[in-house]
């Protein structure tokens, strides 16, 4: 047989086999599509993930805080377990968030019952039906003539009285809440104001607009176009199932901003104007964690003369402020260097001076590398810093013929 004929026959056989394989693969794909089209993917996925419904109390979660302020399981005594159900990260995360909301309410109760703080509604002239927020104040916050302490938390899900939700759940109430600061401040004669900078809006369920979602029966789309669209939707559902196994749709919500308190910066400025500045206290002290430090610098830019006249010292803990980015003028930068100290996350021992080349304000180690722990680890140093600041101010304003000015900067030999 000639070579040319052999090659032709071989090619013909190869092409035929390829066509048969392609046809078989096409039939398999068609069968798979037909199977998927008859499976209710939503129902299938619901069987894979438990409902996103969780208890509304600590008792319902079977957890409670023990005498050391640690969250423990009421039966096993074990700490909180995040991965309650394996391979269901979203469900575990939603469970954690639900517990976090209960923790927030629990901290509010402690502020009111144990610390004897009361709520003040914001805005102060709010209508009955408009979104509102609130802060906490001590009984003497607006009458104490000597000292007032203001606590400003960082950003995120934390609310009034909290430094870090994760610490409250995984460590204890002392490290994660502002309660130790409040109690000691009251013992040392301070009035107290607790800000709530992350309560910026009212979350409500979003009502769908029927006009934007016409039903398939009333649609003017051609049947062929609708079929292609349904096929794409089914593919998205399948991809979603394979990748995340997230079956349950969450409620669509929208946020209605709270008037004059829609951001942490707005909130801090509002509380200054309507509460802090109205206090008769001659000496105001501020503790500002993380984003709270940025909010304070913004306050100072907006109310520089008032802040300089009333605030004696500011203790920042791992503050994220930036005097250059925030465009603080030279007089503000000079004031910060003299009256502020920033306890930052660092492996160095507590109160060790770090980053001396930065000129915004003195930075010392909080004795921990964990950002959220910086406030608690620097607790005693902060109160000593405030005490020294008051002594410095009294020396400056004394009637002694010779007065000396000692810097408010944190010095290693003072600690």
Q: Cβ distance 168 to 304 under 8 Å?
A: no
Catalytic residue flag (residue 290):
yes
Place of tokens 């021992």: 349
Q: Nearest 5°: phi and psi at 364?
A: -130, 160
DSSP summary character for residue 162: B
> Looking at 133, 138, 290, 378, which residue is catalytic?
290
For residue 381, give Cα distances in angstroms to 15, 343, 367: 83, 9, 11
Distance of CA 185 to the CA centre of its chain: 25
CA-CA distance, 6 to 19, in Å (whole number)?
A: 20
410 closest CA partner among 364, 369, 377, 365: 364
DSSP summary character for residue 259: T
Burial group, residue 89, by CB count within 10 angstroms (0-12, 13-18, 19+): middle
β-pairing, 118-122 vs 133-137, is antiparallel
CA-CA distance, 239 to 244, in Å (whole number)?
A: 8
Cα angle: 11, vertex 12, 13; to 5 degrees: 90
CA neighbours within 13 Å on the CB side: how many for 166?
A: 7
Q: Which residues belong to the active site?
A: 290
């Amino acid at each position: 047989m000639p070579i040319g004929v052999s090659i032709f026959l071989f090619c013909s056989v190869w092409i035929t086999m390829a066509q048969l394989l392609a046809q078989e693969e096409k039939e398999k794909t068609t069968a798979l599509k037909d199977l998927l089209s008859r499976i209710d993917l939503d129902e299938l996925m619901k069987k894979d993930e438990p409902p996103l419904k969780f208890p509304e109390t600590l008792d319902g979660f079977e957890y409670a805080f023990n005498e050391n302020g640690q969250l423990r399981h009421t039966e096993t005594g074990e700490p909180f377990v995040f991965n309650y159900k394996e391979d269901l990260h979203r469900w575990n995360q939603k469970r954690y968030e639900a517990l976090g909301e209960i923790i927030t309410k629990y901290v509010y109760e402690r502020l009111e019952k144990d610390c004897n703080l009361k709520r003040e509604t914001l805005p102060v002239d709010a209508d009955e039906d408009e979104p509102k927020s609130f802060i906490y104040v001590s009984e003497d916050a607006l009458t104490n003539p000597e000292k007032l302490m203001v606590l400003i938390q960082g950003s995120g899900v934390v609310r009034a009285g909290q430094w870090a939700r994760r610490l409250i759940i995984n460590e204890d109430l002392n490290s994660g809440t502002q309660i130790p600061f409040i109690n000691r401040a009251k013992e040392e004669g301070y009035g107290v104001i607790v800000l709530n900078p992350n309560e910026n809006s009212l979350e409500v369920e979003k009502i769908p607009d029927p006009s934007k979602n016409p039903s398939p029966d009333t649609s003017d789309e051609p049947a062929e176009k609708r079929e292609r669209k349904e096929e794409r939707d089914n593919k998205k559902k399948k991809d979603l199932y394979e990748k995340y196994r997230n079956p349950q749709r969450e409620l669509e919500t929208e946020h209605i901003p709270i008037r004059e308190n829609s951001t942490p910066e707005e909130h801090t400025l509002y509380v200054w104007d309507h509460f802090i500045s109205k206090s008769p206290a001659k000496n105001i002290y501020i503790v500002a964690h993380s984003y709270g430090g940025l909010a304070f610098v913004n306050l100072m830019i907006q109310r520089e003369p008032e802040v300089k006249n009333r605030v004696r010292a500011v203790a920042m803990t791992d503050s994220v402020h930036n005097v250059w980015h925030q465009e603080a003028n030279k007089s503000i930068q000079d004031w910060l260097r003299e009256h502020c100290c920033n306890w930052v996350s660092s492996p160095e021992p507590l109160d060790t001076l770090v980053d001396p080349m930065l000129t915004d304000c003195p930075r010392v180690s909080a004795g921990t590398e964990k950002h959220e722990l910086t406030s608690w680890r620097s607790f005693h140093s902060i109160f000593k810093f405030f005490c020294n600041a008051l002594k410095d101010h009294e020396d400056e304003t004394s009637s002694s013929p010779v007065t000396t000015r000692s810097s408010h900067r944190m010095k290693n030999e003072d600690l």
